[in-house]
Structure 1
């Protein structure tokens, strides 16, 4: 292909979300473990989280978010060419969550696969879907982030169990964004030397799994501040933009202090940052699409707005995405 040919980025045409019915507050957790609402809120910004029931599996929640995104975009399952699911908590080692959702939606065409990049998974999945579309291998792709982290937590460890929640978020990417619109840039990184500061000691996100999440919170925080700032700057500079051009920051919802730090570096006002960590806690790969869906559906994010998304997760993995909505 000639170097003069520029392939169009994907545009975002659908958003959807699903949160489990059960809400657990900090005060409720304090009746089970040695913690308090004040201790959790001052360190993380979290007030509550949604926890999945036995019936609310990764496939169940992913399907619900997918249906909501299809409804928003006024599309049917047969209009979709592929499904990419970002998750660290599949219901089974295989088949993937994606092909289970494909079957649940009644799709017999296209492809489906899961992608594992921990809390950065949604950014990685967005980039992957965008490249499929730019390469003209698909016209429409459903990108889903879903997690049931509650099944990976040691509920006696107050340093980790208070941080996470469950949920699913979905978007639809379509071909033929106009010049200057759609996914303008995605930047992906990983550094396996730091794999032991945030990991799960085992596999599979089902309720019978013995796998438990382990984290060195201090080290994760240190790397997050540095790497996220670099990824954000990288995405903006490639497009000749600065923080002043951003309408909305939609960050991974891990910790309010990290979110505030990135916003300060971009010189953004607090009202330009979409925050759900207080109500959702850290839903890993689901956190960005959950926040994005909320801000689109409540009218904050409008057509033409420039949106910056960023995340860091176990691996370490990190990345950013710049989207003109």
Structure 2
């Protein structure tokens, strides 16, 4: 049997830091209000010259270097994003050009904040099915450009960033061992950017009505997120033939500290087993899991043989989880 092992990882976050104190000057909020409700203290904001494509390329290149590979070794490139530089070409084509991965088949996947897990699943399935030997999976978003900085329900939450992993074929039972993906029909309006697509193409009216900004019904999203992330994580653990106590580390999507704490409680696992960096980056959407994975490795929290759960929830409303056996 062929498995998809993670052999490289990389991340990029912009230099500019937007603190809660900065937001206090822009919108009716306070540091205490934001920290209490979300756990966020600051987030990174892309510079004018930075884009989803450019940030994704930097994370991708770092992941390749970590794996000891060149861009010509990649035969599949999957980019998870809900904020591509433009509707076409795809963000994956932009990243492909930037890093020179001329042999790679590039594609985008949009599952909002769950996107990285979906892209990971695609890469792993291509490898397990024999269609790919080396897949580059990127999660990247530039949501700061789709935020209304007069809406404190959304502008306090999100930041920009990119993360990437390299998947390679191996005969060893390591890497991606179990997957669970899904969505809740009829919940799309709870978290959306309604303007800019075929339903509401850009017009003076859509711009005037703020349809190109993100909107969110936070309380409803919170309830769905806790249930879905907890249940989905439990499923991949069981599908891998493990128990919750066998899990060395959980790398959850960094949406809200209270969601992470509630997920830990639902799984009956201590918070010490959860990666948390939302205080420094906010919600970076599809980039949050690979960024946290990179930091977990740098902190010595990933050891060979560890059973690791990654789990996410996002607009759609979508969810996704994976059980990984760390082998690097």
Q: TM-score, normalised to structure 2's length?
A: 0.93
Q: Report whether the alignment pairs 1:77 with 2:71.
A: yes
2:176 aligns to what? 183
Partner Cα distance (2:104, 2:58) in 1: 19
2:255 aligns to what? 254
1:234 aligns to what? 235
Do the aligned partners of 1:168 and 1:286 also contact (CA within 8 Å) in 2? yes
Shift of 1:177: 4.5
Do the aligned partners of 1:65 and 1:170 also contact (CA within 8 Å) in 2? yes
Please point out which of 187, 192, 199 is paired with 1:194.
187
Shift of 1:203: 3.2
Do the aligned partners of 2:40 and 2:282 also contact (CA within 8 Å) in 1? yes
Q: Secondary structure at the match of 1:83?
A: strand
Q: Report whether the alignment pairs 1:172 with 2:173.
A: no
Q: Secondary structure at the match of 1:161?
A: coil
Large movers: runs of 4+ above 4 Å: none
Q: Secondary structure at the match of 1:158?
A: coil
Please point out which of 138, 146, 151 is paired with 2:145.
151
Please point out which of 102, 107, 110 is paired with 1:113.
107
Partner Cα distance (2:222, 2:23) in 1: 23
Q: How big is each residue's C-alpha offset from its partner over 1:95-133, in whole Å with a ceiling of 9 and x where there is no partner?
A: 111111111112221200110000000010111111100
- The aligned runs of 1:215-294 (5 Å cut-off) are 215-294=216-295
Please point out which of 32, 45, 51 is paired with 1:38.
32
Shift of 1:232: 1.0
2:88 aligns to what? 94
5+ residue gaps, structure 1: 1-6
Partner Cα distance (2:100, 2:235) in 1: 40
Partner Cα distance (2:45, 2:249) in 1: 28
5+ residue gaps, structure 2: 198-205
Do the aligned partners of 1:11 and 1:177 also contact (CA within 8 Å) in 2? no
Q: Secondary structure at the match of 1:173?
A: strand
1:24 aligns to what? 18
2:201 aligns to what? none
Partner Cα distance (2:27, 2:231) in 1: 37
Q: TM-score, normalised to structure 1's length?
A: 0.94
Do the aligned partners of 1:23 and 1:48 also contact (CA within 8 Å) in 2? yes
**Higher deviation after alignment, 35-44 or 188-197:** 188-197
Q: Report whether the alignment pairs 1:122 with 2:113.
A: no
Partner Cα distance (2:252, 2:267) in 1: 12
Shift of 1:38: 0.3
2:56 aligns to what? 62
Q: Report whether the alignment pairs 1:299 with 2:320.
A: no
Do the aligned partners of 1:244 and 1:266 also contact (CA within 8 Å) in 2? no
Do the aligned partners of 2:73 and 2:103 also contact (CA within 8 Å) in 1? no
Q: Secondary structure at the match of 2:50?
A: coil
2:321 aligns to what? 320
2:202 aligns to what? none
**Higher deviation after alignment, 170-179 or 44-53:** 170-179
Partner Cα distance (1:284, 1:267) in 2: 25
